A and B are shown apart, each in its own frame.
Chain A
């Protein structure tokens, strides 16, 4: 575990709070899902919280993120309202996308969260394009593309990263290697151990990062962001992590062993950060419990809000196909 000495206590505390918020949100949603209160599907983020939080806390409000089919962690880490996310997942008019996006297409431009993308790897060239726009306008903003290990084998990965590399685009490619693309072990679909090695093919820095360690992720991202803002181009960060849940609803994860899951759970990012805050930063356990309780209340209140929200009007089906000229 990386030491937290370099971090202001406030930042470390906020990292912990956001990770707990994500975990509680996802656990609560899953319980509701099992009760039949959530339509469609769920792709859950438990286990990967250190990646979303370590990345998003390193960004400025005017930076943008491009998320995936597993977007809840990214949006909560970015500061999006749990109410809007819960309502969106439950198909309500008060959802962050009015119910038209759903679990895989969360969008909240107020926190720089562009439409999250359910086509694996598709946001890699898109984030590159946003970064090229910042570069063209002379802005020092950055774009972040989140994607999974499986995305490293799709064409858009190659085309998007290469374009970003040759144009020095200010973009950070965050590969969350949670070891599985759906049920397929990534180790069986790659002849290399580290996806970060692929960065060499594009002539950009690639780094393997402990994705269970929020501070390690944060350090690596700060460096990549600094590099991008200074006009030195993109970085590929491979965060080794693990999803505790199945790929999506109703996936019991029969393709992996109980031992394996247990080994990763022993490195749980939240438990480790909690221990570190107590032992290294002298935080009182009561204060941590109070953070955890506040997160739980926030989640329960958000879900209650979502449940009590109206469904979208039928006319919404026909709106926002095209945008009128002003």
Chain B
């Protein structure tokens, strides 16, 4: 299998390319996706694809989020597999009816007569742009029956999960953290977590409904997704030096959620720390904590704990944003407290 070093942007672009080459039903729809001389979408993911596939299959739209998602729903209903992009994940709130009342419910309301195989790509995460370009939105969609929710942490997973999402027969909300893109060109996002990794150029899928154990450990379990997975891994290294061995699990798919590896890990370590960039109240971590305590309560040596963004909008000034987004130091401190307790 030939591989290439790819950033997450490149891996996502490669995934879209592979999907479009393998199935004429796949097309892209969104703002600024294929304009000559333009951006290639909010973060260059679709750059160059209109040259290869034309402007019909890389469909640029007006600034009309309702129409973007609605058109994707309609196209999916008659057999296409659209991949819709919101320029920023926060903009999806303009189109919530189309996501929640339409995409998510059509299969059910029609008793299975129709289905909505579409992907909705959302760039998420705080990145010094202020509260309306920052939100992590996974919990909103996790709460809606009929939607799948995917949130990769690295280029390899991003490509494999994207291909699986496009070929899934349901609406899939696909979150991409801006600080993990590692985009090249004018809209490069800087972050030490945006690693370049070897990604197969071939067609491969990572099944939805899977989590990934990234690191073995015996003292506590860290559950994290997207950027927070990297914070958790960095924290685990620091904890190692203090003699605390953390297991780290990448929560790369929240719906469907595979609880089994989480249960097994919690039974092994007896302590669980959830790390999320979402706001604390009603975040995905709250649901996971509830399910875990039902499953493994008597195996736990300490309460399940969360490190999350506070219940405030995302502030903009770097010093404030740093306070808002969970840091490695906060994760380490919370882990040490948990282990000591």
Please list the residues of chain A having a beta carbon within 8 angstroms of any beta carbon in chain B.
Answer: 64, 66, 97-101, 105, 107-109, 114-115, 117, 119, 122, 124-137, 143, 155-156, 159-160, 162-163, 166-167, 319-326
Contact = CB atoms under 8 A, between A and B. Distances in A.
Contact of A163 (B56, B61, B106): B61
A64 B78 CA distance: 9
Residue among B71, B73, B106 having the largest count of chain A Cβ atoms under 10 Å: B71
A136 B111 contact: no
B113 interface: yes
B115 A323 contact: yes
9 contacts: A105-B109, A114-B114, A122-B97, A122-B101, A128-B70, A130-B75, A136-B56, A156-B97, A163-B67
A143 B79 CA distance: 14
A126 B70 contact: yes
B74 A119 contact: no
Interface in B31-83: 56-57, 59, 61-62, 64-67, 69-80, 82
B74 A321 contact: no
Contact of A130 (B74, B112, B115, B145): B74
- Interface pairs A-B: 9 shortest CB-CB: A129-B74, A125-B70, A129-B71, A98-B111, A159-B67, A159-B64, A126-B74, A107-B110, A323-B169
Interface of B: 24, 27, 56-57, 59, 61-62, 64-67, 69-80, 82, 97-98, 101-102, 106-115, 117, 145-146, 148, 167-170
A125 B77 CA distance: 12
B77 A114 contact: yes
A215 to B, nearest CB: 30
B111 A97 contact: yes
A97 B97 CA distance: 22
Given A115-B77, A125-B71, 12 more contacts: A66-B74, A99-B111, A100-B109, A119-B102, A122-B97, A126-B102, A135-B56, A137-B24, A143-B74, A156-B67, A159-B64, A319-B112
Nearest to B169: A323
Contact of B66 (A134, A159, A321): A159
Given A119-B97, A159-B67, A97 B109 contact: yes
A314 B70 CA distance: 32
Given A107-B110, A109-B113, A122-B98, A162 B71 contact: no
Nearest to A112: B78
B114 A109 contact: yes
Nearest to B115: A323
Contacts of A156: 66-67, 70, 97-98
Contacts of A160: 66-67, 70-71
Given A100-B108, A119-B97, A133-B74, A325 B67 contact: no
Given A97-B109, A101-B109, A117-B102, A132 B59 contact: yes
Residue among B70, B80, B112, B117 having the largest count of chain A Cβ atoms under 10 Å: B70
Contacts of B98: 122, 125-126, 156
A322 B170 contact: yes
Contacts of B75: 129-130, 132-133, 136
A160 B72 CA distance: 12
Contact of B67 (A97, A108, A162): A162
A126 B74 CA distance: 4
Contacts of B113: 97, 107-109, 115
A163 B62 contact: yes
Contacts of A163: 61-62, 64, 67, 71
Contact of A132 (B71, B101, B145, B167): B71
A136 B74 contact: no
B110 A105 contact: yes
B146 A136 contact: no
A98 B113 CA distance: 10
Nearest to A124: B70
Contacts of A326: 169
Nearest to B207: A325
Contact of B108 (A64, A128, A321, A325): A321
Contacts of B145: 321
B263 to A, nearest CB: 22
A108 B112 CA distance: 11
A119 B80 contact: no
A97 B66 CA distance: 26
A286 B74 CA distance: 45
B74 A320 contact: no
